[in-house]
Amino acid sequence: MSTRARPDAAHGWRIGSLAGTPVYLGRSWPVIALVIVVLFGPNLARPDRGASYGYLLAAGYAVLLLASVLVHEAAHALAARWRGHPVSRIVADVWGGHTVYDATRSSPTTTALVALVGPLSNLLLAALGWALRSVTANDTAHTLLGIVAFANLLVGLFNLLPGLPLDGGQIVSALVWRATGSKGRGLVAAGWLGRLVAVATVAWFVVRGLLEGGAPRVFDLLWPVAIAFFLWQGATAAVRAGQIHLASAGRATDVLEPLVLVPGTLPLSEVDGAASGAWLAAADPSGWPLGIVDAESVAQVPVESRDRTTVAAVTLAQPAAWVVALPADAVLTDLLRAMSEADLPLAVVVDDSTRDVRGLARAERINDVVGAQLARRGRR
């Protein structure tokens, strides 16, 4: 017997909430905990404490590291909420963690602020851990606090490096966005810097090994290469997103196609030729668009039956969300976001102030326009 998974199952195990925002432990996190225990356990062993002491200490470090990740992500979440953006979830996963919030109406200032508080929280935890370490007398606690303080210092500084997908890259992206007025240029610039950071991460460990008197071992490079791979993928995604953003920076009205609204109760005989090259949509008595008239279905209705066949009978019903209200100066990015969030292949675009119908947006046509812009930019 199979059962449908709960909506939150894909994010991992829910372990709590923060100001109403669900917090998840990603299913990949145990992998990180296991790696920490296996790698650090032997190095933390103490002959006078038994064979298991080092592994228990490493397990304690894994738990404290998880707490540090959650503090980092909580800082992002609280900053986003403070700036008026709904936060969907906080997840701790194999790459540390991530916070998902609605950045639809974000700004360079908000983007930079939300990014900055994450690394700052790690640096504060590092300072707190070091302060507690200096006053504790327990040997085990002294060791753990030292490790956690160093790890938070390293994570905080590393996250401030100026390349996406790191928080420092978000800050660079916001600065370029502020300077140029283009979010797309910010993403592209920070994405390319992220690629440089990825390459530099591996190069640093290689060069350090050579300076220490020998070639680095393959095993020593596994973790840096894994981190660099993650950074490269995130940076490449940022560059692509930036290019799409630039390609969709034109006016939303440029991709709209003519649309004629007719009452769904009208017989087809009264609307024949009404569209004159435009799309036809059925409307309810209040004028609300209900769906798009299917040209193939219309063609199959015999001429003698058109007096008895209503427009509604040959209309493909659409969800209520297919009516998208946009300001007169909206750009294609705004339309793309609205359609992707509601998973709409078609959308009736209306003016957000007058509610006048501006036209029909089709995902297929938008993809063609954006694709052509991307190809044109690629040839430059």
Which residues of the chain form beta strands (DSSP E)? 13-18, 21-25, 87-92, 98-101, 259-263, 279-283, 289-293, 315-317, 323-326, 346-351, 357-362
CB-based contacts of 275, cutoff 8 Å, min separation 6:
260, 293
**What's the burial of 116, exposed, middle or buried (CB within 10 Å: 0-12/13-18/19+)?**
buried
Confidence of residue 133 (pLDDT cuts 50, 70, 90): very high
The single residue listed with the structure tokens 């700036």 is 83
pLDDT tens by residue, 287-332 = 899 999 998 888 898 988 989 999 999 999 999 899 999 988 888 9
pLDDT tens by residue, 337-347 = 889 888 999 99
CB-CB contact of 185 with 210 (8 Å): no
Integer Cα distance of 197 and 293 in angstroms:
52
pTM value is 0.80
CB-CB contact of 369 with 256 (8 Å): no
**What's the burial of 20, exposed, middle or buried (CB within 10 Å: 0-12/13-18/19+)?**
exposed
Integer Cα distance of 14 and 22 in angstroms:
7
Q: Which residues, in sequence order, are bridge partners of residue 87?
A: 101
pLDDT tens by residue, 168-216 = 999 999 999 999 999 999 999 999 999 999 999 888 877 776 666 666 6
Pick the CATH number of 252-378 from 1.10.645.10, 2.40.180.10, 3.10.580.10, 3.40.50.300: 3.10.580.10
* Residue whose C-alpha is closest to residue 310's, from 320, 301, 319, 318: 301
CB-CB contact of 143 with 158 (8 Å): no
The single residue listed with the structure tokens 């100066």 is 329
CB-based contacts of 127, cutoff 8 Å, min separation 6:
149
* Residue whose C-alpha is closest to residue 72's, from 174, 167, 170: 167
Confidence of residue 220 (pLDDT cuts 50, 70, 90): low
pLDDT for 45 equals 83
Which H/E stretch holds residue 364? helix 363-378
CB-CB contact of 176 with 189 (8 Å): yes
Strand 357-362 and strand 21-25: the pairing is: unpaired
